[in-house]
Chain A
Amino acid sequence: MAVQALDLRLAAIAERVRVMVGPATEPISAAAAALAASSSAAVIADEIVQITKAARLLVEMVEACQPEMGEDGSIETMCSRLRHDLRTPLVALKGYGELVLEIAVDEGLDTVSAALGPLLEGVADVMVAIERALPALSRAMTVEEEGDDEPGAISYPTGRVLVADDSQANRDVLVKYLSREGHEVVAVADGLAAVEAVFEQSFDVVLLDMIMPGMNGDGVLKAMKAEPRLRSLPVIMISALDALDSIVCCIEAGAEDYLPKPFNRVLLRARIGACLEKKRLREIELSYLKAMEKELTIARDVQRSILPKAFPAHHALVGHGLMDPAREIGGDFYDFFALDDDRIGVAVGDVSGKGVPAAVYMAMVRTQLRATALFGLSPAECLYRLNDHLSADNAEGMFVSLFYGIIDCANGIFTYANGGHNWPVVLRADGTVEWVQGTDDLLVGVVYGSPYHNATLTLAPGDSLFIYTDGVVEAIDPAEDEFGKHRLAAILAEMVPAEPAGLCDGVLAAVRAFEGGQPHSDDLTCVAVRFLGDGNDASCFEMRIATDITEIGRLVPAVHAYFQRRAISPEVTYSLTMAIEEAVSNVIRHGYGDSHGEGHTITVRVREESDGDQVVAEVIDDGASFDPTAADSQESGLGIGLLLIKTMVDGIEYVRDAECNRLHMIKSHPRSRMLPS
């Protein structure tokens, strides 16, 4: 096969010589004959015989052109030898011709002189024809290769190629060759034109000659690498082999490869092909990344949309949930919902897998859990049914670790079941930390018919529950140490008196500090609830709402209920409720700019102070820093709302603390005067 292809090449070269050089030799034969006929002077007889001989030799050589491969087997060497052989009779013709001309001039042989002109012109023409047939720069390349399209030949992708070379011959050769390979080629003659072209048009690969007038190849390369848009456009430098030093500099400056002169067509083809292939792979990679990024956004949206916005309002229970997603969704979720007036369900789960599949499964688990739980079934029963649902049709082999419990706010009894999830922590009011205990049941969704078991514990007023996912305990520090259960228990013990939101934030901060800034690969979820106890113990109201104006409709009745329970006078109830409403709506409308604070929450707290002599309402938000006590109500545009607040309450205080605005609104409540002394 290889031998045959080589023979075909040699035959193609011979054919080229015959077709391109053959016709050019005809005027020489004619001129030689005319010269021989022009004179029989003895003084030039020998020379004319030699000229006739050389002309005949040339014609024969061209006609019988049958190049043979040299010892080194290279086409270049063969072409070089062929060129040398063909030029030998030409060198002789030119030399004898000039010699005869000298003699003819000296001897006054005018007819001879006249016949010599066409001969010498003919010699020059044939030399040009040989250069065309076997160009010095591309002897191997210009040869038609029949073997090109044979099966088995490596095929490369095609693209748009810019060729910048000041030599017309090089440009012609490259344009011709690259076009034949199927590339679209644009050729320019200097560096500045190359810069213009790459900035104005789009190319897949650029061939830059090292030495060009105006701006050299390395200058063009630098200009390209300085432009972010062009930085990834591959550049191949063209250079003579002896300029290797500058080639190394160019490759260091970002050139992809280099091509030595004279061009070797196989090398050229392979290097351009490799560049285009690399570019194609990079583009595939980019589009794949883009698609993945889009998927991640979808997954994140799904995940965010299924998380509850606020903890159900209950006077005896406050709670908070937090989920810090990993870049690639890890599948965490939490949920809380009121089952009836006193019972609140709390669930934390971690779905297997990542990305969109995990997000979709998560949404399904959440919906089915709610649907089952709202029947009022016990946690074990819920997990049992959910497990049967999920495992019955589970081609993808997905599952979820799920902790689900119900808190009875009337008595603090917490009933729960655990389907393969991390065990939560109980933080007693006195500062002790206990692990929740029960039956380690199977992950939910794996084995149809798996049993699940209920367990209970009792929360006393002031006790908290902390439920989390493995993103907390399996977080690792730069030395690959795990955060672990002991560290979690220790951190929680330090924070026992904290509010639920404080517990969640504290644990998140501790875990992130532990990781030392490394990217986390898993979602991190915490849910904390604090049992306040019923009746007089519920001296404090706290509620978190989303930054949505409709949340006020949920907030106001809850605040009213609190005031009613605490026997606050209708006048104070009215004023303070209105002040809270105004403060909250101000934050929602102005605190978050155009984002409208999506994903942020506002905390509203109300408590009695000074033995019930005053009621303090606190609005905490993490929006833009804004001090209403300092604002000029006329100019701020928040005028009426602020004015209303100032009229409704007896004092307002503002602090900016930990990136949060904290507005305290104080209303006197002379309860003691109302009581019989």
Chain B
Amino acid sequence: MTKILLVEDNEMNRDMLSRRLQRKGYEMVMAVDGGEGVAMAASEHPDLILMDMSLPVMNGWDATRRIKDIPALRHIPIIALTAHAMASDREQALAAGCDGYETKPIDLPQLLEKIESLLRRA
């Protein structure tokens, strides 16, 4: 079963998105901030990470960079989730090492397609 790590600080949205993805057959693990996200990436070895960008303690960009710095975790695809639809957000996310980028509110079919294509590539 494909394991996805969702790093999201807002409880409601974490619950909502994890429910939707579980319903699609993914195993979900969750972290509430950037620091926990990095730790969970190392301990859970997820197949893919969904990373909210505006996180407390350590933001999504820094967490992504950290994960991509760890050789053992580098291969895990990361999709950035952000509330803003500005070009600079996208560039910043890709610069930090994210493999994909989605804006909130999430278009689920599009997200699923991206997840699958990244998993196929990995």
Contacts and interface: CB of A to CB of B under 8 A. Distances in A.
B23 A53 contact: no
Interface in A538-560: none
Interface string A84-102: 1001111110111011001
Nearest to B86: A136
B10 interface: yes
B84 interface: yes
A615 B16 CA distance: 124
Interface string B30-60: 0000000000000000000000001000000
A94 B10 CA distance: 15
B19 interface: yes
B13 A95 contact: yes
B13 A92 contact: yes
A613 B32 CA distance: 128
B15 A50 contact: yes
A448 to B, nearest CB: 82
B65 to A, nearest CB: 22
Contact of B12 (A53, A99, A136): A53
A89 B11 CA distance: 11
A91 B104 contact: yes
B13 A84 contact: no
Given A84-B54, A88-B10, A95-B13, A47 B86 contact: no
Contacts of B84: 80, 84
B54 A95 contact: no
Nearest to A240: B87
Contacts of A102: 23
B48 to A, nearest CB: 18
Contacts of A90: 105
Q: How large is the interface on B (under 10, 10 to 19, 20 to 34, 35 or more residues)?
A: 10 to 19
A92 B12 contact: yes
Interface string B49-92: 00000100000000000000000000000000001111000000
Nearest to B20: A99
B54 A99 contact: no
A492 B84 CA distance: 88
Contacts of B85: 136
Given A84-B83, A87-B104, A90-B105, A95 B16 contact: yes
A449 B17 CA distance: 108
Contacts of B23: 99, 102-103
A92 B83 contact: no
Given A50-B15, A53-B12, A91 B20 contact: no
B106 interface: yes
Interface in A28-63: 46-47, 50, 53-54, 57
A98 B108 contact: yes
A95 B108 CA distance: 9
Contacts of B105: 87, 90-91, 94-95, 123
Nearest to B9: A88
A88 B52 CA distance: 12
Given A88-B10, A91-B104, A95-B105, A50 B16 contact: yes
A277 to B, nearest CB: 34
A102 B16 CA distance: 13
A97 to B, nearest CB: 10
Contact of A87 (B17, B83, B106): B83
A190 B108 CA distance: 37
A24 B12 CA distance: 21
Contact of B16 (A84, A87, A92, A123): A92
Given A50-B15, A53-B12, A99-B23, A91 B108 contact: no
A136 B83 CA distance: 12
A95 B17 CA distance: 7
Nearest to B83: A84
A452 B9 CA distance: 104
Contacts of A95: 13, 16-17, 20, 105-106, 108
Nearest to A95: B16
Contacts of B83: 83-84, 87-88, 91
B86 A91 contact: no
B20 A88 contact: no
Contacts of A98: 20, 108
B19 A91 contact: no
B16 A99 contact: yes
B16 A96 contact: yes
Interface in B98-117: 104-106, 108
Contacts of A83: 83
- Which residue, A83, A99, A103, has most C-beta atoms of chain B within 10 A? A99
A99 B19 contact: yes
A346 to B, nearest CB: 84
A136 B69 CA distance: 34
A136 B103 CA distance: 15
A94 B108 CA distance: 11
Given A47-B19, A95-B17, A89 B12 contact: yes
A98 B24 CA distance: 13
Contacts of B12: 50, 53-54, 57, 88-89, 92
Contacts of A92: 10, 12-13, 16
Contacts of B17: 95
A246 B19 CA distance: 48
A324 B86 CA distance: 70
Nearest to B12: A92
Contacts of B86: 136
A313 B27 CA distance: 123
A46 B19 CA distance: 10
Contacts of B19: 46-47, 99
A47 B104 CA distance: 19
Contacts of B15: 50
B87 to A, nearest CB: 8
Contacts of B108: 95, 98
Nearest to B16: A95
Interface in A101-121: 102-103
16 contacts: A46-B19, A50-B16, A53-B12, A57-B12, A80-B84, A83-B83, A84-B83, A88-B12, A91-B105, A91-B106, A92-B16, A95-B108, A96-B16, A98-B108, A99-B16, A123-B105
3 closest pairs, A vs B, by CB? A95-B16, A92-B12, A94-B105
Given A47-B19, A99-B20, 5 more contacts: A91-B106, A92-B16, A98-B108, A123-B105, A136-B86
